[in-house]
Amino acid sequence: MGQNWTGENTLHTIKPQLTNQYHIKRFGLFGSVIRGDQSPDSDIDILVEFETPPSIFGFLELEEKLEEALQSPVDLVDIEGIKPLLRSKILSEVQYV
């Protein structure tokens, strides 16, 4: 994980509540936060796998809760919806929380 990112503890703290509320099987970080090349304007890329997929409203609510907790924009990506061209790259660098 990138040395400049401090949100990992926050994710560990909120994980149990979010996992139960949104039926999350697992979630992880990928992108600039993992590579350590994030900038102050970077978003946080989070890959999520659900036990039971939420409605679109539930998905957006989860993304909003993550943004509030992490105090940063979040790009939430459902593992089932990864674009084929990006799938191998994302899965090769994801670090599950």
pLDDT exceeds cutoff 70 at 1: no
Q: Find the mean pLDDT for residues 6-12.
A: 85
Q: Which of 51, 50, 56, 39 is nearest to 5 (CA)?
A: 39
The catalytic position among 41, 45, 75, 78 is 45
The catalytic position among 41, 43, 75, 78 is 43
Contacts of 22 (CB under 8 A, 6+ apart): 50, 54, 58, 62
pTM: 0.91
Determine whether 43 is an active site residue.
Answer: yes
Q: Which of 37, 25, 14, 10 is nearest to 78 (CA)?
A: 25
Distance CA 12, CA 38 (A): 20
Please count the other Cβ atoms lying within 10 Å of the Cβ belonging to residue 47: 22
pLDDT for 51-94, tens place per residue? 999 999 999 999 999 999 999 999 999 999 999 999 999 999 99
Domains and CATH numbers, the chain: 8-96 (3.30.460.10)
Work out the burial of residue 77: count CB atoms within 10 Å of its CB; fewer than 13 is exposed, 13-18 middle, 19 or more buried: buried
